[in-house]
Structure 1
Amino acid sequence: MKKEKTVANKETKSLIINCAGRLIAKYGYANVTSKSICKEAKVNMAAINYHFGSRDGLYRAVLKETHDFLISVSELNKLHLSDITAKEKIEVFIDIFIERLSNKKNWYLKVWAREIVNPSPFITQILSKKTLLKLNIVAKIFSEYTKLPITDLKLYSCILSTVSPFALAFLAHDTFELLPVKFSEKELAAHTKEVVLAGLDKFREAQS
């Protein structure tokens, strides 16, 4: 019975987060009320306080899930510890971002885009807890390929130059169909890998 209640609670929390995420992506956090979220999720008004403590607590949960959607710690750990080559790890890293970018049916990118344009006080809490942990794993992946030591500033320049275009793309992903050049997810991934690896190879060769 207790196990069934735990499962039900998790399902309800997930439902509320997804409903809140969709509404916030469309209207912005400031314009979405607890009442509208509960109506969308078909739960009573006490549900938000019960599961998240407050409306702000719910938004922190939305941002946490958004941050994990972009790329999670478990995904990075699995990639870092995998048996594939260092080059393949970089390629898979890029594939993950391209796949997320190409997923137009989710609300995560729109929520993230709103935070980039107009950051809330909550985003720093999420970033401080998650980003450093993710960066440490990414640094190991990039260090394995470039041969740059973890303590070398150039390694983090490599990471930043790889990830920054995706941050911009997440912001403008809704306008891709307006571009004069049409491309598939596969074509975008192949071109991105070519550009990223060409840059990383310069540092790799310098370490040889």
Structure 2
Amino acid sequence: MKKIKHVKNNMLRGDGNATKALLIDVAGKLIAEQGYEKTTSKNICERAKANSAAINYHFGSHEGLYVAVLEEVHRYLLNIKDLQEIEEKNISAKEKLVQFLDTFILNVWKKECWQIKVWARELMNPSPFIAKILSENAIPKFNVVVKIFSEYTGLSKNNPKLYSCILSTMAPFALTFLVRRNNTEVIKLLPVRYSEEDLIEDLKAFALKGIEVFCQK
């Protein structure tokens, strides 16, 4: 009996890292399509052609897999290493801020992938796991962003105005992102023809000018 159990466990393990990555990818795509509530472990394992016990084996539970999906979403959309590289570059404070905005726009606005759709769903209908994801993944990234904005504005990290500045800068991008990901094309709502590229550049220019004016107050 022990020998049979040993063989079964080996079959379950397979290539552990590859299986985990596959389950995260399949789960992410299903959740992007139909939402977390409608995505079952059975659905995921069937599409991944994985052992029915694979999710519990690798993630502990269905909920554990979803947390892993959200962690992958954060890693994919805005990698903390990319932010740290920008913050540590030997360039002007304005160039750092522009590079951050370009990276944010490229990763969060332009990418067409399941990670974007999952995050949009999570923001519109937060799960019980969002606090964990924010504290362990978003906050460390936000701290790097704070350094970039602090250097450009000259505002101390202890100054509440710095955080007003950050939120005011990011809000238009976040709003248009959410509207766009809920199958509404912002451009079509406008009474004039306006390319998405022009909208992005204008939002960025408005953000930079807004920061400049804000810092003069």
Please point out which of 34, 46, 55 is paired with 2:62.
55
1:191 to 178, 196, 202: 202
Letter in 1 for 2:147: K
1:1-208 correspondence to structure 2 within 5 Å? 8-100=15-107, 101-104=109-112, 106-173=113-180, 174-176=183-185, 178-180=188-190, 181-185=193-197, 187-206=198-217
Paired residue type of 2:211: L
Structure 1 residues 146 and 175, CA, compared in 2 at 3 Å: closer, same or farther?
Answer: same
| Partner Cα separation in structure 2 for residue 151 and residue 7 of structure 1 | 50
Q: Which has the higher contact order (CA 8 A, sep 6+)?
A: 1
- Bigger radius of gyration: 2
Number of aligned residues: 199
State whether residues 142 and 155 of structure 1, in contact with CA within 8 Å, keep that contact through their aligned partners in structure 2: yes
Tell me the TM-score normalized by structure 2.
0.84
Cα deviation digits, residues 100-133 of structure 1 (max 9, x gap): 21112x0122211211221110111111222221
The alignment's TM-score, normalised by the length of structure 1, stands at 0.87
Gaps of 5+ in 1: 1-5
State the shift of 1:68 in Å: 2.4
Q: Is the 8 A contact 1:148 1:203 kept in 2?
A: no
CA contact (8 A) 2:73 2:119 kept: yes
Which residue identity lines up with residue 202 of structure 2 in the other structure?
H
Q: Does the residue aligned with 1:31 lie in a helix, a strand or coil?
A: coil
Letter in 1 for 2:111: N
92-101 or 168-177: which moved more? 168-177
SS at match of 2:137: helix
The offset of 1:184, in angstroms, is 4.1
Task: Report how far residue 182 of structure 1 moved.
Answer: 4.0
**CA gap 1:169/1:184 in 2 versus in 1, 3 angstroms:** closer
**Structure 1 ranges of 4+ moved more than 4 A:** none
